């Protein structure tokens, strides 16, 4: 056992086991409502960002010189719309009938859906934007006089780092949701009577 394992066990012991206690029904309802609000806000932000990306890259397609910049701009717009469609398709949707039937199962199902979506963000969120940005960056490098492969790498480095950051943050968020799912799974049916 390493020192960090020992520290983790010590903090769990000092915590009194509250991290392992099942969640009361009222707490699950509260978390489910907050989760729904957070998903709605996130989706609205993403749709608004897609709208602005379409406007900006639409203007680029009209005013920037060179076929690669124009084509790259149009591909970025298409990738943004694919990403927004995938977000809409993959995100968990509120269903008041299912929530009323069994709030625990409903909340767990939404957590699992969001966890899977966040874990695969590289495929459906970042993936559709990469071809357009690659073409756009190649066009930018060529029109700026840095048409060499090294010039392309220099122009592509910042978007690549941004995409890496997005991927890492979403993987972390997926891991946090997995912990919430595990805690919810630890809840026993006997807390049903703690009710509203």
Q: Which helix (H) or strand (E) holds 59?
A: helix 25-63
In a domain, 177, yes or no: yes
Residue with tokens 């946090």: 176
In a domain, 159, yes or no: yes
In a domain, 32, yes or no: yes
CB 132 within 8 A of CB 79: yes
- Rounded-to-integer distance, Cα 126 and Cα 135, Å: 15
In a domain, 9, yes or no: no
pTM, entire model: 0.75
Whether residue 6 is predicted with pLDDT greater than 60 in this model: the reply is no
pLDDT in tens, 17-69: 444 456 677 887 888 888 889 999 999 999 999 999 999 999 999 999 989 99
In a domain, 3, yes or no: no
In a domain, 132, yes or no: yes
Q: DSSP secondary-structure letter at 126?
A: I
| Number of domains making up the chain | 1
In a domain, 1, yes or no: no
pLDDT in tens, 80-134: 999 999 999 998 777 766 666 778 888 889 999 999 999 999 999 999 999 999 9
CB 91 within 8 A of CB 43: yes
Whether residue 8 is predicted with pLDDT greater than 60 in this model: the reply is no
Q: Which helix (H) or strand (E) holds 22?
A: none
- 174: buried, middle or exposed (CB in 10 Å: 19+, 13-18, 0-12)? middle
pLDDT in tens, 128-172: 999 999 999 888 888 887 767 777 777 788 889 999 999 999 999
In a domain, 149, yes or no: yes
**Structural domain harbouring 105:** 24-187
């Amino acid at each position: 056992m390493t020192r960090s394992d020992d520290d983790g066990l010590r903090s769990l012991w000092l915590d009194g086991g509250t991290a392992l206690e099942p969640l009361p029904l009222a707490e699950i309802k509260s978390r489910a409502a907050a989760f729904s609000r957070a998903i709605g806000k996130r989706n609205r932000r993403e749709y608004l960002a897609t709208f602005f990306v379409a406007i900006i890259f639409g203007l680029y397609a009209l005013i920037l010189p060179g076929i690669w910049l124009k084509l790259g701009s149009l591909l970025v717009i298409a990738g943004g719309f694919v990403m927004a469609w995938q977000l809409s398709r993959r995100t968990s949707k509120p269903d008041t009938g299912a929530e009323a039937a069994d709030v625990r199962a409903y909340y767990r199902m939404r957590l699992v859906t969001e966890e899977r979506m966040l874990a695969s963000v590289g495929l459906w969120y970042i993936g559709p934007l990469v071809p357009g940005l690659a073409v756009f960056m190649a066009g930018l490098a060529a029109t700026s006089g840095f048409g060499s492969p090294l010039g392309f790498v220099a122009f592509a480095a910042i978007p690549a780092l941004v995409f890496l950051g997005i991927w890492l943050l979403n993987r972390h968020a997926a891991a946090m949701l997995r912990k919430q799912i595990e805690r919810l799974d630890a809840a026993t049916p006997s807390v049903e009577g703690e009710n509203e």
